[in-house]
């Protein structure tokens, strides 16, 4: 179990890494983006632990103590730094998405996020922030103000885990966002569970009607991809099309396209 102090030491000792999971076109399986996912490479972990502690085991602690604010800033900065390195190496970029936790969102302004992106001289359209429905609803006025300012700056915003939170459709209509990510709990039941199939096809149609991009997450099976393609979903993220990989492997995926 991670403790707050361990996390502070780990950040100081540079033990955090970002892995990158591909987001892939359902039309031709080309690479269209990455989601940056945090990993803790704690020395002394065994091979069977994959040498890393997954975020599910320490993000909740960091969220509880408030350490998620500096840690989340680090994640955005590191993703931007990596993107700048790839651009400088002459690679054709794809947007990188970073997860922003509820407490991080509450404690930061759009300008704070912008400052980190500017530090690396990145076009704002290359950065997407993934925000859960819950984070938006917890402090709606602040979230609406931040999202509107981000949109004006050209920074992309995705609602993560869509369908699991408590956002009403009247709010969804007003949210200045670019993308909906359908939660993987619904994708799990596709295509066989009637309810999940109905929910997923309805979310895709609704996103289209609202002019939003839609991404299906947690796609593990070909039948799921086929269902999604049939219902006009254009982008997927999941083990079927690519696990989260270290930066050098992600760099290889970028290079392969040229």
Site string for Mn ion, 17-56 (x = CB under 5 A): ----------------------------------------
133 binds ligand G (CB under 6 A): no
Helix (H) or strand (E) holding 228: helix 222-230
Interior angle at CA 79, CA 104 and CA 181, nearest 5 = 65
CB of 158 to Mn ion, least distance (A): 8
Taking the complex as a whole, the smallest distance from the CB of residue 160 to Na ion amounts, in Å, to 4
Q: Is 31 left (phi over 0), alpha (psi -120 to 50) or beta?
A: beta
Binding range to Mn ion, per CB under 5 A, among 7-15, 64-72, 109-117, 157-165: 157-165
Q: Which does 239 bind (CB under 5 to 8 A by kind): ligand G, Mn ion, Na ion, none?
A: ligand G
Site residues for ligand G, 22-41, by CB under 6 A, read 37-38
For 225, the 3-state DSSP assignment is helix
What is the smallest separation between the CB atom of 164 and Na ion, expressed in angstroms?
A: 8
The size of the interface with ligand G (CB under 6 A), counted in residues, is 21
**133 binds, options Mn ion, ligand G, Na ion, none, Cβ within 5 to 8 A by partner type:** none
Instruction: Compute, in degrees rounded to 10, the torsion defined by CA atoms 199, 201, 202, 204.
Output: 120
**Contact status, residue 197 vs residue 190, Cβ threshold 8 Å:** yes
Nearer to ligand G, 44 or 56 (CB): 56
For residue 32, state whether it binds Na ion (rule: CB under 5 A): no
> Is there a cis peptide before residue 216, judged by omega within 30 degrees of 0?
no
Among 161, 196, 213, 219, which residue interacts with Na ion (rule: CB under 5 A)? Answer: 161
Tokens standing for residue 153: 């700056």
Query: Considering the rule CB under 5 A, would residue 160 count as an interface residue with Mn ion?
Result: yes
CA distance 146 to 118: 17
Near Mn ion by CB under 5 A: residue from 32, 78, 128, 130: 130
Nearest to Mn ion of 38, 53 (CB atom): 38
Interaction between residue 160 and Na ion (CB under 5 A): yes
Which conformational region is residue 211 in: left (phi greater than 0), alpha (psi within -120 to 50 degrees), or beta?
Answer: left
105 token code pair: 């969102």
Closest CA to 21 of 34, 38, 30, 40: 34
H or E element that contains 235: strand 235-237
Q: Stretches 133-141, 168-176, 211-219, 224-232: which one binds ligand G (CB under 6 A)? A: 211-219
Choices 16-24, 94-102, 153-161, 197-205 (CB under 5 A): range interacting with Na ion: 153-161
Closer of 110 and 180 to ligand G (Cβ) = 180
Q: Please report how many Cα atoms fall inside a 13 Å half-sphere around the Cα of residue 145, on the Cβ side.
A: 9
Q: Which residues bind Mn ion (CB under 5 A)?
A: 99, 130, 160
């Amino acid at each position: 179990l991670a403790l707050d102090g361990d996390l502070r030491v780990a950040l100081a000792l540079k033990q955090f890494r970002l892995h990158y999971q591909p987001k892939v076109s359902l039309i031709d399986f080309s690479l269209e983006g990455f989601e940056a996912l945090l990993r803790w490479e704690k020395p002394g972990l065994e091979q069977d632990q994959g040498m890393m502690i997954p975020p599910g085991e320490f993000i909740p602690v960091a969220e509880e103590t408030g350490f998620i604010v500096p840690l989340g800033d680090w994640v955005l900065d590191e993703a931007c730094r990596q993107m700048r390195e790839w651009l400088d190496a002459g690679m054709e970029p794809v947007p990188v998405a970073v997860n922003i936790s509820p407490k991080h969102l509450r404690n930061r302004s759009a300008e704070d996020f912008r400052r980190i992106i500017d530090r690396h001289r990145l076009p704002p359209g290359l950065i997407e922030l993934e925000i859960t429905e819950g984070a938006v609803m917890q402090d709606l006025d602040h979230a609406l103000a931040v999202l509107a300012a981000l949109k004006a700056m050209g920074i992309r915003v995705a609602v993560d885990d869509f369908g699991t939170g408590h956002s009403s459709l009247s709010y969804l209509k007003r949210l200045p966002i670019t993308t909906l990510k359908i939660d993987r709990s619904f994708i799990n039941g596709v295509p066989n569970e009637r309810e999940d199939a109905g929910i997923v096809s309805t979310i895709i149609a609704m996103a289209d009607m609202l002019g939003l991009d839609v991404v299906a997450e947690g796609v593990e099976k070909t039948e799921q991809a086929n269902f999604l393609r049939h219902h006009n979903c254009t982008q997927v993220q999941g083990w079927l099309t690519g696990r989260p990989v270290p930066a050098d492997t992600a760099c290889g995926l970028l290079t392969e396209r040229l």
